[in-house]
């Protein structure tokens, strides 16, 4: 599997919302072991771009290509994972049940549920209802979901919200590990990343008209 090279290409993408051009003629490409940081003011279209990349929204112009094919006609969805503003976690279920559900929807990745919970410092919470977790712990749980499933591309919308300092460090170390293991990441963030070893591209959407 690993001898194939994955690549995400975006060509001449534009997004118009309520008669306002958020961005136009946007183009970039992302290879394995690369990371893309989207910056921009509030309302500059960061989330809209991510939702287009996920296929939730249709781009007003332009294409998103995965290994040269349109994302809808490729194995894109088997290779990507998305963590958005909403955690995608059922609060009536326990931590383990939530992760099992994620496994049912995806493919078993390199970590088991227990290993992933250890990694994000949620060990001992296996049978806790998600309802009683704090916002930061829920974020860690979504991180655990990324770890247990087998993905190449992570799309993260403001992953550092409501995480404490240790949580942010943890998230950063997990991200650089993922990059080292031939992964790729697209994220939006207001934090300054401290990832010196990573091949990082930055796009500022505020200046993208």
Partner 1 sequence: MLAFRRRAEIANPIFFFVLVVTLFPLGVGAQAKLLQAMAPGVIWVSALLAAMLSLDSLFRSDFDDGSLEQMLLSAHPVSVLVLGKIIAHWLVTGVPLILIAPLLAVFLGLPDTALGTLMITLVLGTPVLSLIGSIGVALTLGLRRGGMILSLLVLPLYIPVLIFASNAVEMAATGMAVSAQINILMAIMFLALVLAPLPAAAALKMSIN
* Residue 17 contacts partner 1 per CB under 8 A: no
Q: Please state, as a whole number, how many other Cβ atoms lie within 10 Å of the Cβ of residue 170.
A: 17
**Contact between residue 116 and residue 148 where contact means Cβ atoms under 8 Å apart:** yes
**Rounded to 5 degrees, what are φ and ψ at 198?**
-105, 140
To the nearest whole angstrom, how small is the minimum distance from the Cβ of residue 77 to partner 1?
5
**Binds partner 1 by CB under 8 A, chosen from 12, 17, 41, 90:** 90
**Contact between residue 37 and residue 204 where contact means Cβ atoms under 8 Å apart:** no
Could you give the CA distance from residue 136 to residue 124 in angstroms, rounded to a whole number? 16
Edge-to-edge order in the sheet of strand 34-39: 80-83, 153-157, 184-188, 34-39, 199-204
Question: Which parts of 21-157 fold into alpha helices (H)?
Answer: 46-54, 76-79, 95-105, 113-119, 135-148
Site size with partner 1, rule: CB under 8 A: 28
To the nearest whole angstrom, how small is the minimum distance from the Cβ of residue 178 to partner 1?
18
Per-residue tokens: 85:
């503003």
Stretch that binds partner 1, among 35-43, 82-90, 172-180, 191-199 (CB under 8 A): 82-90
Q: For 149-160, b where at least 16 C-beta lie within 10 A, e where not — what string?
A: bebbbbbbbbbb
Q: Which of 135, 202, 134, 146 is nearest to 171 (CA)?
A: 146
* Residue 78 contacts partner 1 per CB under 8 A: yes
To the nearest whole angstrom, how small is the minimum distance from the Cβ of residue 204 to partner 1?
26
**Binds partner 1 by CB under 8 A, chosen from 22, 50, 64, 89:** 89
Stretch that binds partner 1, among 26-34, 70-78, 109-117, 199-207 (CB under 8 A): 70-78
* Residue 88 contacts partner 1 per CB under 8 A: yes
Mention every residue, 6+ apart, whose C-beta is less than 8 A from residue 52: 13, 15, 58, 59, 64
Stretch that binds partner 1, among 28-36, 56-64, 119-127, 166-174 (CB under 8 A): 56-64
Residue 122 or 155 with smaller CB distance to partner 1:
155
* Residue 82 contacts partner 1 per CB under 8 A: yes
**Binds partner 1 by CB under 8 A, chosen from 57, 109, 191, 200:** 57
To the nearest whole angstrom, how small is the minimum distance from the Cβ of residue 62 to partner 1?
17
Binding site for partner 1 (CB under 8 A): 54-58, 75, 77-78, 80-82, 84-93, 97, 101-102, 104-107
């Amino acid at each position: 599997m690993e001898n194939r090279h994955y690549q995400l290409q975006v060509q001449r993408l534009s997004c118009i919302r309520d008669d306002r051009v958020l961005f136009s003629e946007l183009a970039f490409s992302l290879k394995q072991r690369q990371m893309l940081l989207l910056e921009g003011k509030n309302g500059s279209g960061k989330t809209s771009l991510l939702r287009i990349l996920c296929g939730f929204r249709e781009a007003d112009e332009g294409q998103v290509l995965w290994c040269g094919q349109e994302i809808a006609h490729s194995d894109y969805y088997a290779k990507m994972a998305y963590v958005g503003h909403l955690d995608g976690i059922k609060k009536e279920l326990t931590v383990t049940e939530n992760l099992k559900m994620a496994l049912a929807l995806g493919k078993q990745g390199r970590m088991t549920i227990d290993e992933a919970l250890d990694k994000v410092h949620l060990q001992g919470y296996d049978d806790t209802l998600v309802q009683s977790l704090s916002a930061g712990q829920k974020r860690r749980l979504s991180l655990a979901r990324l770890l247990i499933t087998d993905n190449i591309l992570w799309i993260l919308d403001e992953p550092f919200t409501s995480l404490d300092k240790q949580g942010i460090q943890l998230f950063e170390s997990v991200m650089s590990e993922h990059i080292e293991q031939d992964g790729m990441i697209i994220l939006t963030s207001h934090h300054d990343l401290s990832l010196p070893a990573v091949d990082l591209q930055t796009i500022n959407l505020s200046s993208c008209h």
